[in-house]
Amino acid sequence: MGYPANYRYTKEHEWVNAKDGVATIGITDYAQGELGDVVFVELPEAGKKLETGKSFGTVESVKAVSEIYAPVSGEVLEANPELLDKPETINSDPHGAAWMVKIKLANPAELEKLMDGAAYEAYIAAKGKEASA
């Protein structure tokens, strides 16, 4: 699976797709691969304020729980209702249908600090080399 060039990515494997002051956030294909089959997602309600770098939810597999960290700050407009019923969407379509939250950006400039598609792909390639070393 490719990593959309127009998205931005974090070291904790979240992606952001920003447009007109609204950002859609999810976790990457790499992250879902590491997690294994996702069984449950915990997401914030509309109105909750996200702080960059702070955890705003969790993703669970059978044997592990991972925190999801806010790549940028803002106010939650909507959490993806599909993930409540079908958490497995995160495994099948992590960059599209498995978006997690849509937020109103508090500070669009924060996006500059994140990696672009190419940088992220290089980052996870390096991680791959580390693991097999």
Partner 1 sequence: MNDKIKKATRHTNQNEGLIFEKSSPGKRAFELPPLDVPKVDVAKTLGAQHRRDGVGGFPEVSEIEVIRHFTRLSTWNYAIDLGMYPLGSCTMKYNPRVNEFVARLDGIATEHPYQPQELSQGCLKILQLLEKCLLEITGMDSITLQPAAGAQGELTGLLLIRAYLEKQGNARKKVLIPDSAHGTNPATAVIAGYEVQNIKSESHGQIDVDKLRDLVTEEVAALMITNPSTLGIFEERIPEIAEILHAKGALLYMDGANMNALTGVTRPGDLGVDVMHLNLHKTFSTPHGGGGPGAGPVAMKKILEPFRPVPILVEREGGKLALEQVRPDSIGKVRAFGGNFGVLVRALAYILAYGPGVRQATEDAVLNANYIRKHLEGVYDLPYSLPSMHEVVFSDAIQKRNGVNTMDIAKRLIDYGFHPYTTAFPLIVPGALMIEPTESESKEECDLFIGAMKSIAEEAANTPELVKSAPHTTRVKRLDEVGAARKPMLRWKPASRSHVAD
Partner 2 sequence: MRYLPKSPAERQEMLAAIGAKSIEELFETIPEKYRLRDALKLPGPFAEAEVIDYFKQRAGENSLGYTSFLGAGVYQHLRSVITDTILLRGEFLTSYTPYQAEIAQGTLQAIFEFQTLMCQLTGQEVANASMYDGSTATTEAVLMAERLTGRARVLVARSVHPEYREVLQTYAKNSGLHVEEIGYTKSGTVDAASIKRALKDDVAAVVLQSPNFFGVLETLPGIADAAHAAGALLVVAIAEGVSLGAVKPPAEADIVAMEAQSFGLPPSYGGPYAGVIASRDKFVRQMPGRLAGQTTDTDGKRGFVLTLATREQHIRREKATSNICTNQALCALAATVHLTLLGKEGLREMAEQNFAKAQFALSELEKIPGVKRAFDGPVFNEFTLEFPRSVRTINGELLKEKIAGPLALGTGYPELTKHGLVCVTETTRRAEIERFAAAVKNILSKPL
118 binds, among partner 2, partner 1, none (CB under 5 to 8 A by kind): none
- Structural contact between residues 41 and 90, judged by C-beta atoms closer than 8 angstroms: yes
Q: What are phi and psi of 35, to 5 degrees?
A: -70, -35
Closest approach, Cβ 62 to partner 1, in A, equals 5
Q: Give whole-number Cα distances, 114 to 18, 58, 77, 118, in Å.
A: 12, 21, 22, 12
37 binds, among partner 2, partner 1, none (CB under 5 to 8 A by kind): partner 1
Structure tokens at 62: 């059978």
Which residue in the set 11, 21, 46, 62 belongs to the binding site for partner 1 (CB under 8 A)? 62
Residues 1-60 that bind partner 1 (CB under 8 A): 37, 39-40, 60
